[in-house]
Structure 1
Amino acid sequence: MLRKLKIFNDPIYGFIAVRNPLIYKIIEHPYFQRLRRVSQMGLSYLVYPGAHHTRFHHVLGCTYLMEQAIDTLRMKNIEISEEEAQALKVAILMHDMGHGPFSHALEHTLIKGISHEFVSLKFMELLNDEFEGELDLAIEIFKGDYHRAFMNQLISGQLDMDRLDYLKRDSFYSGVAEGNINVERLITMLNVKNDQLVVEFKGIYSVEKFIMARRFMYWQVYLHKTGIVAEKVLVKIIERARELMLAGVEVNCSHTLKIFLSQHIDQSNFDQSKMEAFSRLDDYDVMSAIKDWCSHQDKILSYLCTSVVNRRLPKIEMKNEPFEPGKLDSIREKVQEKLNLTDEQVAYYVYQGKVSNKAYNSEGEQIEILYKDGSQKDIINASDSASIKALSMTVSKYFICYPKKLL
């Protein structure tokens, strides 16, 4: 039982107070404490040295913003009961509990075909059993089953508390000022109309800045070419370690990580025991293994791990249109010949891919601007900036990675 006010000192928002016993009970739980050991931005710190913050930082910030949003909506006569307010804060607090080591970087590598949202829901259900149903409403809102649709939008929408926090937080820790947004202004301008989250017209320029900031952060930070190649190497490391382990080669690592390398895990066999193992898996398991594997007898695994530990990453070429046919094959042949590799092995050295981003998705749930006369318009139609419409289009970039010293 929470007997006194608990305070976290956050560099973004200042003091974050925890007054709710259930919120505090969740934060204290080992499942939640694991987020202290899961990086928020994968290997982005290899590009931006300050980007060492964790999912723990992020979800506390999201919960703080949810509290501000609830207060704002209540002041505008939107009825939110104490039970609903608690459920909203619990749902946003736990929305990222399903992230594994290095967050998005290994999301579909350690476990195939399972999103972090799916695993977050599993954590909620486990804690709900442990806490005797106290999370029932939070789970209903998180799943989008609750009859008040705007509540789910606060957790998972175009202008949700998750996006508001990660843009401001990641901008701060990376030092990329272009990603900074006026969170306070955006939340103050929120309202609800016909059970849908809307933004009052006075906040239209803040919304425009928010969409622009998403574009800057994705192409300058999240999809920075060095970050892309670093995380591709990380995926290759896990794939190679699993291949060796399944072939009977000794690959030392923690007992927890070995569970995910010694077999292929997907939704069909992600049972209670795997869930318990996942609750113990974090960045530390993976990085300590990578350091050890730098001296592994397998030259491919050793090469990949050394690339990350010493930041001697492969070269990455990136362009706005697909590479000309044959370029990848030409590079593969040269690398394969120089290193005497099989067709399967060269795939660990030379590979290509595509990344895409849409700063604003106008095809799904839209950001609605509310006018004084009660009418609404999607931000694209409400804005007098032509760039907002352009930012609703998908932008793709293509890349090729290969060892820079060999070519």
Structure 2
Amino acid sequence: MSASLLCDCSSLSQQGTELPTLSIQQQQLQLRQQQSSSDAAAAVPHMLIEDEVHGVIEIPSHIEEVVNHALFQRLKKVQQLGLLSVTAKPEATHTRYDHCIGTYRSAKDLLNALKRNSNYDRELPEWCREAVEIAALLHDVGHGPFSHYWEQVCGESFDHEQNGLVCVDKIFGDMKSKKLRTLRDDNNGRGVQLIKALILGKSELLTYPMMGHGYIFDIVHNSRNGLDVDKWDYLRRDNKRLNLLSEDEMQFDDVFLKARVSPDGQCIQYRYDDYHLIYKLYVARWRLHIGAYQLPKALAYDQILCKIVRRCKPHLISVRADSKEWLGLYDERVLQMIDCDPVTAHLRSPERWVETNACDDENPAYVCVKRIKVGPGVDMKPDKFYPLYGDKSKKRKVDRSTTPTLITACYKLL
């Protein structure tokens, strides 16, 4: 079961909270008692979310305001892996909402690890930390129906991150929390500007210098080498549902938990000891692509969805977050809107597909798939992109697999 608010139950992972044996009500009470007895002035969280990857996630009241916004709530109706739950993996019903909440928690975990592991004496300003956490929470708020499938439907005209920036502005325009209004209004809105730059992974979009805190651009969208909390959450979350990889194959958390801030504050460094775990992460990602994300039938569904929407409801391709239609543009609603097309029945009925060797690309009753997936050694960037620290002798040699995988199949629609 995916992330749930208070009343729903799900199995808690070992990486979650230390309170998994208590009921959600007991956990609420214990957390409040701990905080009320503390000398710290930390605010009591207003919301607790039970998550299948992280356990119980505490949501402060100002973050709850963001979570409760209609644009964020819409993500509950957008599946993380699109039509995969219909095509081949019925267990893959988790949503973008679940992933965004988990990425928020992962960002907090990484920020805490960086503070713990670093000898960097420049404290990250509170408004910057808030911006990082909110950027993690909102990094996928602009996704269309069926997540990445929708980008295939719309082609190059749709970018979920750029669309997400419109959502960020609309969400902050509605906020009442003093903390959130400060991020929006103080110093020409530098906080919201930072949130949007972090989502895109482009520090050059800022109109002000980060003054020794450039490393935060390696947290949410790491355009340097791809090691970010987005990837950290979705690999764990997707595999928990799909159960494709063993516990040992998923043991790469130390890449993040042992990372530190570089001496100049401009990047995140990873231990030489964990270099082989970086490759393990990319192998895990590659395995999920081959075993789930790019299954031939899933890719074929993508093709059919594209054809139906473009033929039946082409105006949907131009709907963006600045339109009144956006809130009503989610998975099940799109399927309802294209139900008039006779081919839509095949999206809902995978048993009506037959794999065949004889393929006719010109015949609409046939769907052919051909794609090449590069090896994990290609997905992982060259060594120079990974800043390392510690004992160089502990860097293990990895044998990078660069062999591409051909994904090909042909289906006849009955």
Which bin holds the TM-score, normalised by the shorter protein?
Answer: 0.7 to 0.9
Q: 2:228 aligns with which of 160, 183, 188?
A: 160
Moved more, 124-133 or 69-78: 124-133
Does the CA contact (< 8 Å) of 1:168 and 1:183 recur in 2? no
CA–CA distance in 2 between the matches of 1:277 and 1:186?
Answer: 41
Deviations 1:182-205 (A, max 9, x none): 364232211122411221122233
* Partner amino acid, structure 2, of 1:39: Q
CA–CA distance in 1 between the matches of 2:168 and 2:108?
Answer: 20
**CA 1:159/1:183 → structure 2, altered by over 3 Å: closer, same or farther?**
same
Q: How far apart are residue 81 of structure 1 and its match? A: 2.1
Q: How many residues align?
A: 339
CA–CA distance in 2 between the matches of 1:282 and 1:183?
Answer: 33
Secondary structure in 1 matching 2:388: strand
CA–CA distance in 2 between the matches of 1:232 and 1:385?
Answer: 37
**Matching residue of 1:98:** 142
Q: 1:279 aligns with which of 327, 341, 344?
A: 327
Does the CA contact (< 8 Å) of 1:96 and 1:116 recur in 2? yes
* Partner amino acid, structure 2, of 1:218: H
Does the CA contact (< 8 Å) of 2:115 and 2:260 recur in 1? no
CA–CA distance in 1 between the matches of 2:82 and 2:49?
Answer: 24
Q: How far apart are residue 356 of structure 1 and its match? A: 3.2
Secondary structure in 2 matching 1:362: coil
Residues 1:401 and 2:410 are matched in the alignment: yes
Residues 1:9 and 2:47 are matched in the alignment: no
CA–CA distance in 2 between the matches of 1:312 and 1:207?
Answer: 39
Secondary structure in 1 matching 2:328: coil
CA–CA distance in 2 between the matches of 1:233 and 1:215?
Answer: 25
CA–CA distance in 2 between the matches of 1:108 and 1:350?
Answer: 16
Structure 1 unaligned segments of length 5 or more: list them.
244-258, 294-300, 319-326, 333-342
CA–CA distance in 2 between the matches of 1:3 and 1:72?
Answer: 22
**Matching residue of 1:189:** 258
**Matching residue of 2:69:** 29
Q: 2:373 aligns with which of 333, 353, 356?
A: 356
Q: How far apart are residue 175 of structure 1 and its match? A: 1.9
Q: How far apart are residue 317 of structure 1 and its match? A: 7.2
Secondary structure in 1 matching 2:318: coil
Does the CA contact (< 8 Å) of 2:219 and 2:228 recur in 1? yes
Does the CA contact (< 8 Å) of 1:349 and 1:403 recur in 2? yes
**Matching residue of 1:207:** 278
Structure 2 unaligned segments of length 5 or more: list them.
1-42, 176-180, 185-190
- 1:232-311 map, 5 Å: 232-242=303-313, 260=316, 265=318, 272=322, 274=323, 276-290=324-338, 292-293=339-340, 301-302=341-342, 304-311=343-350
CA–CA distance in 1 between the matches of 2:321 and 2:66?
Answer: 22
**CA 1:209/1:4 → structure 2, altered by over 3 Å: closer, same or farther?**
closer
* Partner amino acid, structure 1, of 2:257: T
**Matching residue of 2:78:** 38
- 1:116-155 map, 5 Å: 116-131=160-175, 132=181, 133=184, 135-143=192-200, 144-145=202-203, 146=206, 147=210, 148-155=213-220
**Matching residue of 2:33:** none
CA–CA distance in 2 between the matches of 1:361 and 1:204?
Answer: 11
Residues 1:370 and 2:403 are matched in the alignment: no
Q: How far apart are residue 43 of structure 1 and its match? A: 1.3
Deviations 1:362-406 (A, max 9, x none): 269823332337x9x9xxxx54121x2x34x7x35353534166x
* Partner amino acid, structure 2, of 1:401: C
Does the CA contact (< 8 Å) of 1:199 and 1:367 recur in 2? yes
CA–CA distance in 2 between the matches of 1:176 and 1:398?
Answer: 18
**CA 1:177/1:170 → structure 2, altered by over 3 Å: closer, same or farther?**
same
Q: How far apart are residue 56 of structure 1 and its match? A: 0.5
Residues 1:18 and 2:66 are matched in the alignment: no
Q: How far apart are residue 5 of structure 1 and its match? A: 3.3
**CA 1:12/1:271 → structure 2, altered by over 3 Å: closer, same or farther?**
closer
CA–CA distance in 2 between the matches of 1:398 and 1:347?
Answer: 21
Q: How far apart are residue 226 of structure 1 and its match? A: 2.0
* Partner amino acid, structure 1, of 2:126: E
Calculate the aligned-residue CA RMSD, in Å.
Answer: 3.0
Secondary structure in 1 matching 2:124: coil
* Partner amino acid, structure 2, of 1:211: Y
TM-score by length of 1: 0.74
Quote the sequence identity (%).
20
* Partner amino acid, structure 2, of 1:370: Y
Moved more, 2-11 or 364-373: 364-373
Deviations 1:239-287 (A, max 9, x none): 23136xxxxxxxxxxxxxxx51xxx628xxx683x3x322331112123
Q: How far apart are residue 24 of structure 1 and its match? A: 1.5
Secondary structure in 2 matching 1:232: helix
Secondary structure in 2 matching 1:312: helix
CA–CA distance in 1 between the matches of 2:227 and 2:281?
Answer: 9
Residues 1:223 and 2:294 are matched in the alignment: yes
